[in-house]
Each structure stands twice: as C-alpha cells, then as structure tokens.
A and B are shown apart, each in its own frame.
Chain A
C-alpha cells in the first residue's frame, strides 16, 4: 500500500513565524504535490514537483515555497505565516506514468496561525 506521511497532524504558529511542513512517501513516486483544503473551496494546488530539485507553481503559490532534495521528501515552507494561511494542508504523491497517475494523500496537517 502507498503510504504518505506528514510530519505533524496539528500545528499552531504565530503570525510572522517560518513554518515547515514535511511530507514523506515510501512508494518511490516521482510526483509530489502540496494542496490546501478550505471549507467550500475544495483542494487547491500550491506547488508540485515531478522530480528531485524540481518544482512548479500551482494555482496559489503566493506566500509559500517548497523544497525537494530527495525523491521521497517534499517540504512546504511558509516564509512568514499569516492568518489567512490557517488551513488544512494535504500532501500527495503519484507515479509519473500517465496511466497510473492516481494521487495518494497523506493524513493532512491542520495549521492554525494566530
């Protein structure tokens, strides 16, 4: 079974703090994604990566950055947290093969920025 883990289930941070969210997958997937999930809005793509050291902006990259130093690990960074970044953050991974690109999700990190 695919396993995607996220470093924290719940986080409380203060405005202006730098926040790191870590994601690790154990299935040798090439693709990794970071989404945020807010009520009534569905999942919105922040950043994704198709390979080590490679990153692409998603739909809402402002205020975020990412790092992919190893294939299994994809980190999301909030350089200076703001209250509007309070959300559920979901990491996902998938194979690069076109026919098998189903995304598998981690359990999520619920971030509260005060």
Chain B
C-alpha cells in the first residue's frame, strides 16, 4: 500500500555536526511535502515544505531535498543544537476522491549529544 516511511527510527548526532533525516514515499502523484518537528509533549511544528516541482529548498539551518526519481525526501539540519532534539516526521499530500489528503510518516527521533 501507499506509505510514508523513515529509514531510521533514532538518529544520534554530535552537537555541531550536521544531521540528515530521510523519508521514503510511495505515491508518485504527491505534489507537496512537509517536514514537522515534534518535541516531547507538544504538537508537531512546521519546519519547511517543498513542492514537487522543486528539488531543493533552504530555510534557516534546514534544507529539504526531494528526489522524485527514487521517491525520497530528506531533511538536513546544519550545526545541530541541543534544541533540535525531537521527533521529525515527513508528510506528503496527494489528491484522493477530489480532495487533498496528507499521509504522515511515523517519525525519526533525533538525539543531540553534547
């Protein structure tokens, strides 16, 4: 079936290093993708998005890369900080029955080591 998944459930990164979180999606018709950050006990927080007509988008310390050929999405966090520790998950948007539907991944836990 269709799914949005993450390659690694937990990622440990040294403070100051760059982090790369990956996401695979299976619906080639999806036209919009979002990365969310969810800290413990809080709701998901929007980080960055990208449309299917782009392959890269940069924000503040974050970059999202989209490879439609292999249906792969990644989130890169530069100079990872302790405050980046959280669960990160991706979401894809597709059209289903004439309306947009979001499919969410299960998440990767990022641990920043001091």
A: residues with CB less than 8 A from B are: 4, 35, 40-43, 45, 50, 56, 90, 98, 101-108
The listed residue (B43, B91, B105) touching A107 by CB distance below 8 A is B43
Task: Say yes or no: B105 contacts A42, CB within 8 Å.
Answer: yes
B32 touches A41 (CB 8 A): no
B34, B42, B102: most-surrounded residue (chain A CB, <10 A):
B102
B-side interface residues toward A, CB under 8 Å?
Answer: 4, 32, 34, 36, 41-46, 49, 89, 91, 93, 99-102, 104-107
Chain B residues, Cβ within 8 Å of A102: 34, 46, 49
Docked Cα-Cα span, A105 to B32, in Å, equals 17
18 further interface pairs, Cβ-Cβ under 8 Å (given A43-B104, A102-B34, A105-B43): A4-B43, A40-B106, A42-B4, A42-B89, A42-B106, A43-B102, A45-B102, A56-B99, A90-B43, A90-B44, A98-B100, A101-B93, A101-B100, A102-B46, A103-B46, A103-B91, A107-B43, A108-B42
| 11 A-B contact pairs sorted by A residue (CB < 8 Å) | A4-B43, A40-B106, A42-B104, A42-B107, A45-B101, A50-B99, A56-B99, A101-B100, A102-B49, A105-B43, A106-B43
Q: In whole Å, how far is A52's beta carbon from the nearest beta carbon of chain B?
A: 17
